[in-house]
């Protein structure tokens, strides 16, 4: 009797655990596997892995955590850097932010084109975040959040430094900077000077797992 019971439990565990794992991965990545965005993503990845800096688009869980920290103000704009396939753009809109309040900067022309087709009322700029101030020169509204998927740790350090300078230049003192990274290590090189980390959370349901960091200016406290 005991042997039958043990055999039944073993059978149950050997079927249920792999099925549960399979279901988790299925839930995590179905949204990317079945759409053409993935092919554009992989094409850019193959031609320029350092600029892409990721093996797959962001998961919905990662996008949700990023967007949770966006501050909302009807007169302001949110700038998204390196939108890729638009997982975070989509989440911004789903969260109630009007598409006209979102400006995307994406350097890969094929991804920018796809983003514009998918989000016709979002302002999509094909350009390099290193030129952020120039790209946004026409913009008169206040930027309240810069939300970034840029692969800062895989870009050349000089590029990263220029981008961080531009982000700091464009953010008002009440603004927030939201960035994710796959790195487990904190490195002050990737921090904005005179900004403090106000939230940080690791998202395991992403390949690879990522950490979302949220920065706010110390000047806002004064």
Ligand X SMILES: C[S@@+](CC[C@H](N)C(=O)[O-])C[C@H]1O[C@@H](n2cnc3c(N)ncnc32)[C@H](O)[C@@H]1O
Q: Which residues bind ligand X (CB under 6 A)?
A: 41, 44, 51-54, 57-58, 81-82, 84-85, 87-88, 105-108, 111, 128-130, 149-151
What is the token pair recorded at 46?
A: 């193959």
Place of tokens 């350097």: 107
State the nearest-atom distance from the C-beta of 80 to ligand X, in Å: 9
Q: Is 120 or 156 the residue whose CB approaches ligand X more closely?
A: 156
Cα 45 to Cα 156: distance, rounded to the nearest angstrom? 16
Beta carbon of residue 96, minimum distance to ligand X (angstroms, whole number):
20
Q: How far apart are CA 171 and CA 83, in angstroms?
A: 18
Element (H, E) at 70: none
DSSP 153: T
d(CA 164, CA 193) in angstroms, rounded, equals 9
Residue 92 in tokens: 């911004």
**213 within 8 A of 62, measured Cβ to Cβ:** no
**What is the smallest separation between the CB atom of 106 and ligand X, expressed in angstroms?**
5
């Amino acid at each position: 009797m005991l042997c039958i019971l043990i055999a039944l439990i073993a059978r149950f565990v050997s079927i249920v655990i792999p099925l549960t794992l399979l279901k988790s991965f299925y839930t995590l990545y179905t949204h990317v596997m079945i759409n053409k965005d993935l092919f554009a993503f992989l094409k850019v990845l193959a031609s320029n892995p350092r600029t892409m800096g990721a093996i797959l688009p962001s998961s919905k869980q990662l996008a949700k955590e990023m967007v949770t920290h966006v501050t909302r103000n009807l007169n302001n704009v949110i700038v998204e850097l390196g939108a890729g396939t638009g997982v975070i753009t989509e989440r911004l809109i789903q969260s109630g932010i009007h598409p006209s309040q979102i400006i995307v900067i994406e350097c890969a022309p094929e991804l920018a084109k796809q983003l514009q087709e998918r989000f016709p009322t979002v302002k999509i700029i094909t350009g390099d975040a290193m030129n952020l101030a120039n790209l946004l020169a026409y913009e008169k509204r206040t930027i309240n959040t810069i939300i970034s998927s840029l692969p800062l740790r895989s870009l050349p350090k000089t590029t990263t430094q220029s981008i961080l300078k531009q982000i700091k230049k464009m953010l008002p003192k009440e603004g927030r900077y939201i960035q994710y990274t796959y790195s487990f290590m904190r490195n002050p090189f990737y921090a904005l000077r005179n900004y403090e980390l106000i939230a940080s959370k690791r998202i395991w349901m992403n390949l690879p797992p990522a950490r979302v960091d949220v920065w706010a200016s110390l000047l806002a406290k004064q």
